[in-house]
Amino acid sequence: MFKSVLIAVDGSEHAKKALEVACQLVSKEDATLHILHIPEALTHETTLVWGIGAIAIESSREVLEEAGKSVIERASEAARSMGASHVETHLSKGDPARNILRHAEKLGVEAIVMGSRGLGDFAGLMMGSVSHKVTNSAKCTVISVR
């Protein structure tokens, strides 16, 4: 069905469920699974710079980057254990929704898989803001896993 699929992971249980669905899609077809993660706090870091000090910022940025790498690595291992044989990982910075859309186009994937909610799941809404933006603007199929 799909030759290449992009799964967006934020480290949440929702994204873990979405990863399972993505793996079912690619393992049947021997398709490529692109795993994308955008460590979110990196976006807002620069607004906090003054008053805190460069060293603290630099080290927290490092911590975030390490955390980001670990999210991607765990997702990649899980994907392989669930039968995905062609896995490519992507770590990016900036706005999550825009990054997901940009990667989908650049990589030419046929579908984006994501959780309907993510780490910020507390407001009782059906859909998170990232999921909402991607679903509205993507040019390819979007599978929102609930």
Q: Which residues bind ligand ATP (CB under 6 A)?
A: 8-10, 12, 14-15, 18, 36-38, 40, 96, 114-115, 117-121, 128-131
Q: Which is nearer to Mg ion, 50 or 122 (CB)?
A: 122
CA distances to 53, 55, 60, 98 from 63, rounded to whole Å, are 16, 12, 5, 23
Q: Which is nearer to ligand ATP, 14 or 34 (CB)?
A: 14
* Min CB(73)–ligand ATP separation in Å: 14
120 belongs to the binding site for Mg ion (CB under 5 A) = yes
Asked if 104 and 6 count as a contact pair (C-beta separation under 8 A), the reply is yes
3-state percent helix, strand, coil for the chain, nearest multiple of 5 = 50, 20, 30
Tell me the residue nearest to ligand ATP as measured from the CB.
128
Which residues contact residue 95 at a Cβ distance below 8 angstroms, ignoring those fewer than 6 apart?
Answer: 38, 43
| Residue 18 near which of ligand ATP, Mg ion, none (CB within 5-8 Å, type-dependent) | ligand ATP
112 binds, among ligand ATP, Mg ion, none (CB under 5 to 8 A by kind): none
Rounded CA gap, 8 and 10, in Å? Answer: 7
Q: How far is CA 36 from CA 47, 65, 91, 126, in A?
A: 25, 14, 6, 23
Q: Which does 121 bind (CB under 5 to 8 A by kind): ligand ATP, Mg ion, none?
A: ligand ATP
Contact set with Mg ion (CB under 5 A): 118, 120, 128
